[in-house]
Structure 1
């Protein structure tokens, strides 16, 4: 099963089991794009770490891509990792940016992007060890050339 299908299956199963929290969609991206976020809780008591996912939609409400922060390893997918997937050949790419130990201003510490690739395309995992229970912020971006339009950041925990 490919990565996108595994992720969709995992989110669906987690929703059935009550482990995913869907946040209301918000139109934080420019040019008519919007995102829907989800949180996947991990650990024995479901509070030790949590993943963040963003579904990216265009102005016609069509899903054009997804981004994901994976806090812990799952199967062949690494932990402390980011991935971006672009489904549509529409002239824009999809990106996820991470700020590790966020302060009062955004600092991009890690990126996974589809920028410069033809769709459909999923980026390789952008990885690197992050200490357990470290707070991170992630945001989804629609990118074109050197421009980026990013969502409001959402918290995750490594």
Structure 2
């Protein structure tokens, strides 16, 4: 009976540790923002595993002839703007990370779009923090 309690306690501690590690690992991953089935935008607030912080990129995942784009602006200063798009590339292409230091805690808006020939259709908007 005593052995069962010890095993259960050890199992609970192990499960709690695994959960805590899982949460810590997923928190450091880039935030994915779907682009209506045409691709995905990624926002990386803090540097992690070789990925720079305050970084934005998009990946075109659908061979439909449309490019994808993401535009980042800050709430407080519209001059903090960055844009990435896959125009001119085939599906399966991901842009390089576009970076620029933002003060910690800066609120950002990332709008995503898809299109071709310079004509973009709005897909989604994400409100995040640097």
TM-superposition CA deviations, 1:124-156 (whole Å, max 9, x none): 111111111111111111121111112342211
**Offset, 1:69:** 1.0
> Which residue, out of 22, 40, 58, partners 1:84?
58
Calculate the TM-score normalised by the size of structure 1. Answer: 0.59
SS of residue paired to 2:70: strand
Q: Please, which runs of 5 or more residues in structure 2 have no aligned partner?
A: 1-18
Name the counterpart of 1:129: 101
User: Structure 1 unaligned runs (5+)?
Assistant: 1-13, 20-39, 43-49, 58-62
Task: Give the paired residue count.
Answer: 110
Structure 1 runs (4+) greater than 4 angstroms displaced: none
Structure 1 vs Structure 2 CA RMSD: 2.9
Please give the alpha-carbon distance, in whole angstroms, between the structure 2 residues aligned to 1:124 and 1:95: 13
> What corresponds to 1:35 in structure 2?
none
C-alpha distance in 2 between matches for 1:113 and 1:55? 14
- Corresponding position of 2:35: 56
Q: Return the TM-score normalized by structure 2.
A: 0.70
Deviations 1:51-94 (A, max 9, x none): 6421223xxxxx43111111011111111000100022211011
Q: State how far apart, in whole Å, the 2-side matches of 1:90 and 1:107 are.
A: 33
More helix by share: 2
How big is each residue's C-alpha offset from its partner over 1:18-57, in whole Å with a ceiling of 9 and x where there is no partner?
68xxxxxxxxxxxxxxxxxxxx756xxxxxxx96421223
1:51–1:157 Cα contact (<8 Å) kept:
no
Matches of 1:141 and 1:76 in 2, distance apart?
Answer: 27
